[in-house]
Structure 1
Amino acid sequence: MSRKDAVRRVGALVLAVNAGLVVAKAAVWATTGSLAVGSEAVNSLADVAYSAVVVAGLYLTTRPPDFSHPHGHERIEPFVSLFVALGVFAAGGAVLWQATTAVLSGDIAVTTAPTAVAVLAGTAAVKYGLYRYCLRVADETHSPALRATALDNRIDILTASAALVGVVGANLGVPALDPAAAGVVALGILYTGYEIVEDNVDYLVGSAPPEDLRVEIVRRALVHPDVEGAHDVIAHYVGPEIDVSLHIEVEGDRTLMEAHDIETEVMESIRALDQVDDVFVHVDPKELGEWKDDEEIERLVGNAEE
């Protein structure tokens, strides 16, 4: 399955599941009057809204390149992720506010209805399955938007579990467990929002990729038998993908055709890396002495040899 199809399929699945959960929770809320289930129904309704935006965003990011966007539309993905992060922060703040006001007012209302327990336990189980699935596809496709979606589903596991603790607490005669658990969950939600922002800021500001990937880029350049050295190696994120530029040194007596072939082979070798989009290779005649000491390259070369 192509990256485009995989990303779109996950987005549509998450939207459909969230819509189904809204219906199930609303039905239980209407029959039991459970505030815990009611708040979860509202939470799922919000999930439907953000899921629709994510699906639209993923549709845009997987469109083919055009005249206005010759490198494709993947750079939209970090912005989709940040939209998810805003929803996460809003959810965390709302849960924390509800927990705090419940404790201060002493107005703690929960239900002991078995249907409430069933729908909350079912929600946690479904969301765990979605979390694992979204995370797996996000790792396979290197999609920051799907990773943010996975983390958001992890939040829903926590919120459903907190509501379940409240219902169980009511059965045990300790209704105060509801706001206490909600407060802990709220902190977890806010931290997840921070994780999403932290992940995507690197994509937006053009940070360097992880060192193991930079080592592999340098290794692929230097492993070519006609490359004598490399310098000015720059790799940085452009959206969720990586652009690479570097200078390689070759023997000065190479013909233009030979130099072109070397450049092409090095470029194709580096571009074969999953996360790499564009590669720009400049060929320098070794005899011109343009090579320069580069401590970063020497360190990466040492790591590659190890």
Structure 2
Amino acid sequence: MSRSRRATLRRVGLLVLASNVALVLAKGTVWWYTGSLAVQSEAVNSLADSVYSVVTVGGLYLTTQPPDFEHPHGHERIEPFVSLFVALGVFAAGIGVLYQAGRTVLSGNVSVTRNLAAVAVLAGTVVVKYGLYRYVDAIGREHGSPALRATAADNRADVLTASAALAGVVGATLGFPLLDPIAAFVVAFGILYTGVEIVQDNVDYLVGRAPPEDLRKRIVRRALSHPDVEGAHDVIAHYVGPEIDVSLHIEVEGDRTLREAHDIETAVIQSIQALPEVDDVFVHVDPRELGEWKADDEVDRLVQPGDESNR
């Protein structure tokens, strides 16, 4: 992992943490003075965001550590676990808000203090969270960081839930107090949905899901682009943490010297490893005379002509 990537991930984590703490203080203060349930639910949401932001910062510090003797491939595989912890925090916040809103509605004690401060803090939340979502999502995609993408997904949901809370407060201020707890319900379900999204995304990293077909095409085509490679089979690409490991057999003519076979193998490995998503590549060379060349329908499908942009 480059030093610039390490510094960038840590900087983004600290920025998200600072933003969430500031929002907790702002929302908590406004809720204290207005008693708005929607603002309270948003304050709880931001408090949960702050807690998982601390974990994210710690996780990003660990995952950006350089390789060592016990972790020769680095520490990037910690990131999906960090993301799942984020999901746990998101679920806890959603359940808490849902419980509080349900209890308030069932008690019949729905009261709202009309105050422009509630409108202002929620409108400010929408602006801040949208800016964080766009920035963190761009950095997460650029650097292939599951933890940052999980954080971006949470910020995206926060834009929607803060908007719902804002609508509830405005509606209550206009004389419809029931809109306030209804908005809190919307906030709760938005939070829970985000938690489900984060879990789905990161479980794939942990169970070794295959990468998208577009990337598999590029892997196979890079292997076959070498002039001495006649074919490929048994191509396996799967996630190990946020990175991809690849293994494949390449088919070459059997009259190559050992040094030539080694050079072909090395060139194929380097070509595939040049893809930013790929970590380790394992190549087995099959000479024609051993009878190990075989048809591979999946390889044939991936190299069908018509989309040369994937090379």
Residues 214-253 of structure 1: per-residue CA shift (max 9 Å, x gap): 1110000001100011111110100000000111111111
For residues 96-111 of structure 1, what are the structure 2 equivalents within 5 Å? 96-111=98-113
- Structure 1 segments unaligned to the other structure (5+ residues): none
- Contact kept, 8 Å, 1:215 with 1:304, in 2: the verdict is no
Residue 305 of structure 1 and its aligned partner are, at CA, apart by 6.2
In the other structure, the counterpart of 1:184 is 186
Residues 130-158 of structure 1: per-residue CA shift (max 9 Å, x gap): 01111111111111110100111123223
Residue 256 of structure 1 and its aligned partner are, at CA, apart by 1.2
Alignment equivalent of 2:69, drawn from 61, 64, 67: 67
In the other structure, the counterpart of 2:123 is 121
In the other structure, the counterpart of 1:37 is 39
Alignment equivalent of 1:17, drawn from 12, 16, 19: 19
- Contact kept, 8 Å, 2:129 with 2:159, in 1: the verdict is yes
In the other structure, the counterpart of 1:293 is 295
Residue 303 of structure 1 and its aligned partner are, at CA, apart by 5.8
Alignment equivalent of 2:81, drawn from 60, 79, 82: 79
Equivalent AA in structure 2 for residue 88 of structure 1:
V
In the other structure, the counterpart of 2:173 is 171
SS at match of 2:221: helix
Q: Distance in 2 between matches of 1:10 and 1:156?
A: 17
In the other structure, the counterpart of 2:159 is 157
Q: Distance in 2 between matches of 1:103 and 1:303?
A: 61
Deviates more, 1:196-205 or 1:85-94: 85-94
| Shift in alpha-carbon separation, 1:103–1:27, aligned structure 2, 3 A | closer
Alignment of 1:243 onto 2:248: no
SS at match of 1:2: helix
Alignment equivalent of 1:279, drawn from 247, 268, 281: 281
In the other structure, the counterpart of 1:7 is 9
SS at match of 2:191: helix
| Shift in alpha-carbon separation, 1:26–1:305, aligned structure 2, 3 A | closer
Deviates more, 1:277-286 or 1:106-115: 106-115
Q: Distance in 2 between matches of 1:49 and 1:305?
A: 45
- Contact kept, 8 Å, 2:37 with 2:184, in 1: the verdict is no
Equivalent AA in structure 2 for residue 180 of structure 1:
I
Equivalent AA in structure 2 for residue 272 of structure 1:
A
Report % sequence identity.
75
Q: So what's the TM-score if we normalise by structure 2?
A: 0.93
Alignment of 1:27 onto 2:34: no
Residues 263-294 of structure 1: per-residue CA shift (max 9 Å, x gap): 11110100000100000111111222101222
Equivalent AA in structure 1 for residue 76 of structure 2:
E
What is the aligned length?
A: 306
Q: Which runs of 4+ in 1 moved over 6 A?
A: none
- Contact kept, 8 Å, 2:36 with 2:118, in 1: the verdict is yes
Q: Distance in 2 between matches of 1:303 and 1:200?
A: 33
Alignment equivalent of 2:263, drawn from 251, 261, 264: 261
Q: Distance in 2 between matches of 1:37 and 1:178?
A: 9
Residue 57 of structure 1 and its aligned partner are, at CA, apart by 0.4
Deviates more, 1:103-112 or 1:195-204: 103-112
Residue 60 of structure 1 and its aligned partner are, at CA, apart by 0.4
SS at match of 2:285: strand
